[in-house]
Amino acid sequence: MIGIVRYGAGNIFSLTSALDRLGIAYGMINEEADFDQFDRYIIPGVGHAGAAMTKLVNTGLVPKIKALQKPTLGICVGMQLLTEHSEEGDSELLNIIPVKTLKFKEEPGFKVPHTGWNNVFAQEGNPLFENIPAGAHFYFVHSYYIEYNNAYTLASTNYINNFSASIWHNNFFGVQFHPEKSGEYGETLLKNFSNI
Is it true that the peptide bond before 108 is cis, omega within 30 degrees of 0?
A: no
User: Which of 92, 107, 178, 184 is labelled catalytic?
Assistant: 178
For the question of residue 180 being annotated catalytic, the response is yes
User: Which of 88, 114, 142, 180 is labelled catalytic?
Assistant: 180
Nearest to 105 by CA among 176, 175, 163, 153: 163
- Give the Cα separation of 32 and 8 in Å (integer): 16
User: Which of 76, 88, 114, 142 is labelled catalytic?
Assistant: 76
Cβ pair 15, 47 in contact under 8 A: no
For the question of residue 114 being annotated catalytic, the response is no
If residue 183 lies in a helix (H) or strand (E), which one and from where to where? Answer: helix 183-195
* Catalytic residue ranges: 76, 178, 180
